[in-house]
Amino acid sequence: MEYLTGIDGSQVDSIWWCWGEMNYAPYPSKILPANLQYQKWLQQGKDPLPIVIESSKKKGIEAFYSFRINDSGLGGAGTVLPSEGWIKWSMIEKNPHWGQPSPFWPSPFYHYNFAVPEVREYKLAIIREVVENYDFDGIEIDWRCGYGCLPFYHKWENREHLTEFMHSVREMLQERARKRGRPFLLAVRIPENIEGCHYDGIHVERWVEENLVDILVLGCKNFDVDLDAFKRLTAGTHIKLYPSMDDHHRASGYEQPSIELYRGVASTFIQQGADGIYAFNWYPVPIILDSRANPEQEQLRRTALCEMGSTETLKFKDKIFVTGRRGGGGWPETAEYFYKNTCAFAQLPKELSNNQSEEAYIFLRIGDDIDTSADKIEQISLRILLSDVTAIDLPWEKRISKPVCIARLSSRDFNEPPTIDLISQLRIRINGVILEQPIINDGWIIYPIKAVLLAQGSNVIAFRLNDRNPLEKGRVTIEKLELDVRYTN
């Protein structure tokens, strides 16, 4: 807590505590076993939950209990199967019909099926035990975790089971709130767009209409959140909207984000009307032994936690605005079995037509009012990374660069650099205005931009290829698109 709230200028006002995968307990439980790490505490009569609640009250911040409602269970208190190296949840071992196998992790990797009534009763009992015994300000049900809470290929037609479960949780929290004399808030973490919710069997319109939630946490690692649609859905209600950033399962192509990127995403969320920002997996100590735990990245996180929550602390600071890519963070790029975590509806990568009578359109949202701040801006650059598979056999001297890293853990980690000739074929417009010739820097195509060309909110960038053989089988692909804004101070 000191890491998150003790920084001078910290804007953290709520901590949502998540212990494990909801298959073991860090508290004395009659339902779940205790994880080995907590057993020594419990044997000494030390329960961490009252400690964090009391500490939160002293600091004047909210404390939520976050339930990963159906996660993988890795590292949990199930039965270890040495031959596979995985852990199978003990309740599914006892009740095989409660679960369904993972679509791409090897057996016996299972998840609970909420279409089974006993599963809903079991999960509700776990939540009830915490709610009745601990004085949290609220709970979060994280529907983002896990591969699927309903049968694959049949989620939307089984949506009533998740809605029924949400009714049960809400009624339980309302009863607890009446007894203690103050609200017990309910947050849910769902996909970043309404279509993704439908894909995963989440009938978010009914949840809003029937007053089943207080906070909607939107998405995972995504930069493009359909806040406009959620604002229309929740208009006239008390429901708050918190778009999410994930600092562990990071967005495709941004595995080592800069402070400018964090600012750009936060500025865009706030401009769209977000009520708060949900910083997920922002580890309070360097517990992971890779590049995300280096001192520079730690300091970057701490700086971001002091800036992202307010337009005032973001004002006139350098930012990068980006368009999201599919996949990333080790998750699939398509929504074959589920939508959550995939960013499968993202705009990039996007192929361009070889027919010069056709344009491709990319929408880029900008949080800052750049035009009215032109006197404070030193430089604006539109940065584009392309791939051209037709250049794959050409020598490097005919191409704009050697391969550039696009992303890690993706279907294509490096681009296929286009030919030098392609630059003269490429026509780009921003909000209808044709851009001047670009420069090439380290494989990126970079256009200088005037502030007057940009709008606060959504901007359209149009791509066309001239003088290219329409019968050419290979296509040029837009891999990444960024707007880099540098202020004078």
Reported as a single tens digit per residue, the pLDDT across 107-144 is 556 788 999 999 999 999 999 999 999 999 999 999 98
CB atoms within 10 A of CB 158: 15
**Is 234 exposed, middle or buried (CB count within 10 Å of its CB: 0-12, 13-18, 19+)?**
middle
Structure-token pair, residue 450? 């005037």
Hey, CA dihedral for 64, 185, 303, 144, is it positive or negative?
Answer: positive
Pairing of β 278-280 and β 240-246:
parallel
Pairing of β 278-280 and β 110-112:
unpaired
pLDDT at 283: 74
CB atoms within 10 A of CB 16: 24
Q: How far apart are alpha carbons 400 and 109 in whole angstroms?
A: 45
State which residues of the chain have pLDDT below 70. 71-90, 105-109, 284-294
Q: What is the CA radius of gyration of the chain?
A: 24
**What letter would DSSP give residue 23?**
S
Could you give the angle at the alpha carbon of 159 between the alpha carbons of 156 and 165, nearest 5°? 155
469: helix, strand or coil: coil
Q: For 410, what's the count of Cα atoms within 13 Å in the CB-facing half-sphere?
A: 25
Cis bond before residue 26 (omega within 30° of 0): no
Sorted by sequence, the CB contacts under 8 Å of residue 222 that are 6+ apart come out as 192, 244, 251, 324, 343, 346
pLDDT at 284: 66
CB atoms within 10 A of CB 227: 22
pLDDT at 89: 55
pLDDT at 194: 98
**What letter would DSSP give residue 218?**
E
Mean pLDDT of the chain: 90
Pairing of β 457-465 and β 426-430:
antiparallel
In 344-435, beta strands by DSSP E: 350-351, 360-366, 377-388, 426-430, 433-434
The answer to whether 104 touches 93, Cβ cutoff 8 Å, is: no
Q: How far apart are alpha carbons 203 and 298 in whole angstroms?
A: 38
Pairing of β 476-487 and β 377-388:
antiparallel
Pairing of β 185-190 and β 138-142:
parallel
Nearest Cα to Cα of residue 149 among 78, 212, 84, 199? 199
87: helix, strand or coil: strand
Q: How far apart are alpha carbons 106 and 86 in whole angstroms?
A: 9
pLDDT at 292: 52
The answer to whether 425 touches 465, Cβ cutoff 8 Å, is: yes
The answer to whether 271 touches 319, Cβ cutoff 8 Å, is: no
